[in-house]
Amino acid sequence: MISTDTTIAAIATARGQGSVAVIRMSGRDAWSIAKRIFSRKKNQFEAGRIYHGWIADDGDIIDEVLLLIFKNPNSYTGEDVVEIHCHGGDVISHKILNLCVKYGARIAMPGEFTMRAFLSGKMDLTQAESVMDLISSRSERLISQASANLKNRSLGQYIDEMSKGLLDLQAQIVASIDFPDEVDEPDRQAIAEKLDECLAGISRLKESAQRNRMIREGLKVAILGMPNSGKSSLFNALLARDRSIVTEQAGTTRDVITESFDIDGIPITLIDTAGIRETRHSIEMMGIQRSWQAASEAQIVLYLVDTSVGLLRYDTQILAKLDPQTTIVLGNKKDLLLAGHKKYANWIYVSVKTQEGMENVYAALQQKIRDFSHEDTGLTISLNQRQIQCCIDVEEQLKHAQEAIHSALPLDLVTLPMTEALRKLDELMGRDTTEEVLTSVFQQFCVGK
């Protein structure tokens, strides 16, 4: 059972040495426990104040601290909250935490502070999930979307509008069923149109979520090509550091190497691969298999051709196996370009060694990344798996309602799936949500948040 009767405490800062550590307490006894362990000349607290003093247990001084005092409902959790800012370091912060527990607090579970904020109506469930995104994501774009959702309740507002439309419609239908003499049956065509509108709204949300998936999950970009074409050189150039070994020997890279960086706030996993060629060498063969595997898992492939030797038949064979939509062909070693080499209009010519043309490689990558989110839906919302599943369920129910209306079934059979769709929209926002759902959402948080 989720209970908010107890006072919870946790270390809110990361473990290890730091200049400051924060111990946070929330709940009805937070102030009284703080008074018990905090000493200064006058032990009278006022909300919204910061106090300087010492944490001590029966006269034994533990640390010099700052105390921040919040009164419900004006706190993160909506409850009485005390934050103790002590010197950073695991020993001191744990001693203070133990003291909070000694005088009545219990150790908070992961995400319990945010769960209380949600339970006290400080935020809806999607906003709580945005807090999680803010802490855990390495995607700048997702972080800015999450901040926007925390500030403006963007997703909540979108869903509220849809719920309101559905509720109005349902009220009209129910009134006509309950009071057939007084309320006319609403026009079936009008109901169908309204349901269409709701379906379009939910599909738009789902589509936008799918397009924005890369904002959450990032994109994989694999570098492929024949041995010695300059793959590892490009890998290092894009990362701006010497990560992969570069030599003039063909067959230097034998395994896939992955590193992360970001382009326009999108997390990119860049993959350097073993050069693809025919070989009898068993280790090299395994490496080449992995190159193909990387290509199949990547959303974008950068294919390098060594223009100092020109396009070989084997290059053509490999290129034929790659999806032209997601492959960018780079003519590398532009500085050594063979005189009379045929120029391909859709290739990007670059010299990774002299950096000439690298800006065009960047631009092409940026464009391909944008291609993934083309047909902008105007919504800058990226949903997590739980939220997408709720949208899928709502969509299914709305389709049932539509079928019922089109097959001239009695109107109460239309309201059944509509009720279910409304319930799912509520679940998406965290209204009418089971304990199981809440636990699974907040379990993903860290302790102290």
Ligand X SMILES: Nc1nc2c(ncn2[C@@H]2O[C@H](COP(=O)(O)OP(=O)(O)OP(=O)(O)O)[C@@H](O)[C@H]2O)c(=O)[nH]1
Closer residue to ligand X (CB): 232 or 327: 232
Task: Work out whether 425 is an interface residue with ligand X (CB under 6 A).
Answer: no
Q: Of all helices (H) and strands (E), which one includes residue 106?
A: strand 106-107
* Contact region with ligand X (CB under 6 A), list: 136-144, 202-210, 221-229, 381-389: 221-229
CA 286 to chain centroid, in Å, comes to: 34
For residues 21 and 88, the answer to whether their CB atoms sit within 8 Å is yes
Closer residue to Mg ion (CB): 141 or 231: 231
Task: Give the total of residues touching ligand X (CB under 6 A).
Answer: 24
Q: Which of the residues 333 through 352 are near ligand X (CB under 6 A)? A: 333, 335-336, 351-352
Task: Work out whether 250 is an interface residue with ligand X (CB under 6 A).
Answer: yes
* Identity of the amino acid at 318: I
Q: What gap in Å lies between CA 353 and CA 234, rounded to an integer?
A: 8
Minimum separation from the CB atom of position 267 to Mg ion (A) = 23
Q: Dihedral angle at the C-alpha atoms of 186, 187, 189, 191, nearest 10 degrees?
A: -10
CA 274 to chain centroid, in Å, comes to: 31
Site of tokens 């509520």 = 426
Closer residue to ligand X (CB): 35 or 353: 353
Minimum separation from the CB atom of position 107 to ligand X (A) = 51
- Residue 351 interacting partner from ligand X, Mg ion, none (CB closer than 5 to 8 Å by kind): ligand X
Closer residue to Mg ion (CB): 83 or 284: 284
Residue 404, phi then psi, degrees to nearest 5: -60, -40
Q: Which two tokens stand for residue 309?
A: 């030797």
One symbol per residue from 303 to 332: x for binding ligand X (CB under 6 A), - otherwise; what is it? Answer: -----------------------------x
Q: What gap in Å lies between CA 396 and CA 423, rounded to an integer?
A: 13
Q: Pick from 231, 368, 424, 449: which binds ligand X (CB under 6 A)?
A: 231
Task: Work out whether 246 is an interface residue with ligand X (CB under 6 A).
Answer: yes
For residues 427 and 437, the answer to whether their CB atoms sit within 8 Å is yes
Local structure of 329: helix, strand or coil: strand
Half-sphere exposure of 172 (CA within 13 A, CB side): 13
Closer residue to ligand X (CB): 118 or 303: 303
Task: Work out whether 355 is an interface residue with ligand X (CB under 6 A).
Answer: no
The angle at the Cα of 385, spanning 381 to 386, to the nearest 5 degrees, equals 100
Q: Which of the residues 257 through 296 are near ligand X (CB under 6 A)? A: 274-275
Per CB under 5 A, residues contacting Mg ion are: 231-232, 252-253
Task: Work out whether 373 is an interface residue with ligand X (CB under 6 A).
Answer: no
Q: Of all helices (H) and strands (E), which one includes residue 132?
A: helix 125-136
Closer residue to ligand X (CB): 209 or 304: 304
Q: What gap in Å lies between CA 379 and CA 357, rounded to an integer?
A: 35
For residues 163 and 425, the answer to whether their CB atoms sit within 8 Å is yes
* Contact region with ligand X (CB under 6 A), list: 90-98, 247-255, 389-397, 401-409: 247-255
Among candidates 324, 242, 323, 318, which has minimal Cα distance to 275?
318
Closer residue to ligand X (CB): 122 or 231: 231
Task: Work out whether 227 is an interface residue with ligand X (CB under 6 A).
Answer: yes
- Residue 359: burial class (beta carbons within 10 Å; 0-12, 13-18, 19+): exposed
Taking residue 48's Cβ as centre, other Cβ atoms within 10 Å add up to: 10
Q: Which two tokens stand for residue 245?
A: 């070994």
Site of tokens 């974008």 = 300
Closer residue to Mg ion (CB): 129 or 272: 272
Task: Work out whether 233 is an interface residue with ligand X (CB under 6 A).
Answer: yes
Task: Work out whether 229 is an interface residue with ligand X (CB under 6 A).
Answer: yes
Task: Work out whether 228 is an interface residue with ligand X (CB under 6 A).
Answer: yes
Closer residue to ligand X (CB): 69 or 274: 274
Minimum separation from the CB atom of position 314 to Mg ion (A) = 17
Minimum separation from the CB atom of position 281 to Mg ion (A) = 15
Minimum separation from the CB atom of position 230 to Mg ion (A) = 8
Binding site for ligand X (CB under 6 A): 225, 227-233, 246-248, 250-253, 274-275, 332-333, 335-336, 351-353
